[in-house]
Copies of this chain bind each other. A is one copy, B any other.
Amino acid sequence: MSLRIKKLGFLLLSVALTLLSNAIRAEDGYELWLRYVKVDNPALLSEYQEAITGIYVEGSTPVVNSAKEELILGLNGLLAKPIQEVKTVSDGTVIVTSSPDAQLLSALGVTDLKNVCGEDGYMIKLVNYKGKKNIAIVATTDRGLLYGAFNFLRLIQTQKPVKEFSVTTKAALKYRLLNHWDNLNRTVERGYAGFSIWNWHLLPDYISPRYKDYARANASIGINGTVINNVNANALILTKNYLVKVAALANVFRAYGIKVYLTARFSAPIEIGGLKTADPLDPEVRAWWKAKTEEIYTYIPDFGGFLVKANSEGQPGPQNYDRNHADGAIMLGEALAPHNGIVMWRAFVYDHEVPDDRAKQAYNEFKPLDGSFLPNVFVQVKNGAIDFQPREPFHPLFGALPKTPVMMEFQITQEYLGQATNLCYMAPYYKECLESDTYYKGQGSTVAKVIDGSLDKHINTGMAGVSNIGDERNWTGHPFAQSNWYCYGRLAWDMNLTSEQIADEWIRMTFTNKTQFVEPVKKMMLESRETVVNYMTPLGLHHIMGESHHYGPGPWVSGGRPDWTAPYYHRADSAGIGFNRSSTGSNAVSQYYPEVRSMFNDPKTCPDIYLLWFHHLPWDYRLKSGNTLWNEMCIKYNAGVDSVRAMNSLWDEMAGYIDTERFQHVKMLLNIQEKEARWWRDACLLYFQTFSKLPFPANMEKPEHSLDYYKSLKFKFAPGI
């Protein structure tokens, strides 16, 4: 065949490819960041095509096979040429092995691979091996290889030059989990992306292809465990009928290195066990949990363990029997220990009685229990002491439980950050907490170091993220909400990654490598969380959202338990606004180490972002900016709205760089976000104005409606309740 004909064929092939990928594959977001479309930089594509000729994989366990399958799928798509498994190594072979021979180790420049990679880590490196030029993906475990395979594909997806293919990484945390607040009727508490992806009714006999794709996505970012049901638990999940269904999911996930965990309803021994009590010191109750745990392991040999929400928001727990949280956790920990399972006992608890300051409660409950748990029992602590607010100072329990493995609980689903409709990239949110300095062992004792066990030599370390996944086609509803699933996983692997690095990766893989798109969209993402804080809860305000569904503003929400109302938290009155948690108030600041305590305790040193969290200040209080509190509040709320408008304009400029489907999807949501930002600003400022009695700044946009109008809005069927 003459060159000319070859060229023509190639041209036609390219045309066909382009036509088809436009015509046939509407980009609906289902593929997340694993799209594996052909590399659109011709020079790089040639480089990749030359450098990668086949894959050589050692081993054939299910996890290794998953790695192999993913490499073949990914490379065929990215390189637009058939890449197959080969049985001998030649130039361009990608070598994938968890048992590198001495020659390969030497080529890698490593003696103790375990030391370099840990259990889950891996190396990717260009090597000269037996006289051939190869790329090696090595690890000490199958799971490490799988993660390495995904990272290798990511290098190509993000268009790194071959000469820069060099990664050595180990996981910062041992347990990297998703928590699904999914109910058995398929509703998802605080879910804004449709309904639960678990089709309980058809399990175990119908296995949706989605289960495997879920596992792939999680493995690609290093997530190795999933709690598949709601912390507000139903004991039925522990009955045989459901355990066989759970086992069917576990069978799918296992090949991607993901273990299944369940929530354990504390009263299960009564509800499904026929016992009269669930007292954790009752021998029958203990025997029941032991037997139940053993039963679970007969169905799921690698079952991960239990997550427990006890004595919180109406859930039963050991305190119903005058026992403490440790009593409950130890009972379950003992049942799981022989099977290497763990307990994650949530620190998010409520007292029967309304406390003077709810922020202090978890610390007060758990601090005295430090040291009384078991090695396989985590206390799982939310990032802040209230409840995933747009901004909270770090939880004082971080650094307060040196003898206890403490697991971080972040929320990925945007319960308080715009739910289904607001673009809010959460890596900066997670990083803000992780980088906070507790001063527990002096300066530099960041939350991240508490979590990773380095300060106290804990072996069991972990992070949990409350999932934002639902049955919407694109998994997360908002296309940009995918980035929160992504960045959560990436940070659970490596807390030192920057928000910018992660956003960069995600944008390139999810949308395009075109700089004209990557750079402005990255900037937009990085600013987006601050934007949400500004139009919702600036200056340390918190818990002023709509009632029950938490949709939209509700600073006027009252009635019922005081600590479930808004005024309990904002304390607005004619004198000023804010919750006095300083030493002259609830003294919640006392729960922090002295350096932090004194910083928070004084409004002059307290960062503006936490000001009204810790202080009740007069409306004419002067901030560092020189503005009065009232004016600063107005400025922040307005800045939030302006930023959303800027995001919306910016997005218009992005048309053409990506597919129409996702462009339009985001565009419609940005329009909604703009409406909602105004709604938050107007409703909150009109409401707070009834206390401040001060005028809005002259140049401020007039509120669209009256306060009465905003207060009249009802959303009976808002999602996620």
Contacts and interface: CB of A to CB of B under 8 A. Distances in A.
Given A209-B661, A471-B471, A672-B206, A201 B13 contact: no
Contacts of A13: 12-13, 15-16
Nearest to A28: B209
B205 A675 contact: yes
B717 A200 contact: yes
Contact of A668 (B20, B76, B205): B205
Interface in A663-721: 665, 668-669, 671-672, 675, 715-719
Interface string A14-40: 011100110111101000000000000
A473 B17 CA distance: 25
A202 interface: yes
A184 interface: yes
A145 to B, nearest CB: 24
Interface string A99-113: 000000000000000
A195 B186 contact: yes
Interface in A190-212: 194-195, 200-202, 205-207, 209
A93 interface: no
A185 interface: yes
Nearest to A73: B23
A5 interface: yes
Given A201-B718, A661-B209, A20 B24 contact: yes
B209 A26 contact: yes
Contacts of A661: 209
Contact of A201 (B207, B473, B719): B719
Interface string A576-617: 000000000000000000000000000000000000000000
A471 B207 CA distance: 17
Given A12-B13, A20-B21, A661-B209, A236 B716 contact: yes
A421 B236 CA distance: 23
A133 to B, nearest CB: 28
A8 interface: yes
A562 interface: no
A206 B668 CA distance: 6
Contacts of A1: 8
Contacts of A669: 206
A62 interface: no
Contacts of A5: 4-5, 8
A261 B719 CA distance: 24
A625 to B, nearest CB: 35
Contacts of A718: 201
A420 interface: yes
A495 B299 CA distance: 52
A371 interface: no
Contact of A20 (B20, B420, B672): B20
Contacts of A672: 202, 205-206
B21 A24 contact: yes
A660 B600 CA distance: 61
Interface in A152-202: 184-186, 194-195, 200-202
A444 interface: no
A301 interface: no
A473 B21 CA distance: 20
A24 B23 contact: no
Contacts of A76: 23
A59 interface: no
A9 interface: yes
Interface string A224-236: 0000000000001
A207 to B, nearest CB: 7
Contacts of A209: 26, 28, 661
A638 B718 CA distance: 48
Nearest to A37: B24
Given A20-B24, A206-B668, A717 B12 contact: no
B26 A16 contact: no
Contacts of A9: 8-9, 12
A271 B716 CA distance: 14
A236 B672 CA distance: 22
A677 to B, nearest CB: 14
Nearest to A15: B13
Contact of A421 (B202, B671, B719): B202
A600 to B, nearest CB: 38
Contacts of A195: 186, 194-195, 471
Contacts of A200: 717
Nearest to A667: B206
A225 B28 CA distance: 28
Nearest to A9: B12
A207 B715 CA distance: 19
Given A23-B76, A206-B672, 10 more contacts: A12-B12, A12-B13, A16-B16, A16-B17, A20-B21, A23-B77, A184-B717, A186-B717, A201-B718, A209-B661
23 contacts: A1-B8, A4-B5, A5-B8, A9-B9, A9-B12, A12-B12, A12-B13, A12-B16, A13-B13, A21-B24, A23-B76, A23-B77, A25-B25, A28-B209, A184-B716, A184-B717, A186-B717, A195-B471, A201-B719, A202-B672, A205-B675, A206-B421, A206-B672
Interface of A: 1, 4-5, 8-9, 12-13, 15-17, 20-21, 23-26, 28, 76-77, 184-186, 194-195, 200-202, 205-207, 209, 236, 420-421, 471, 473, 661, 665, 668-669, 671-672, 675, 715-719
A-B pairs, 8 with minimum CB distance: A16-B16, A9-B12, A184-B717, A20-B20, A205-B672, A206-B668, A185-B717, A13-B16
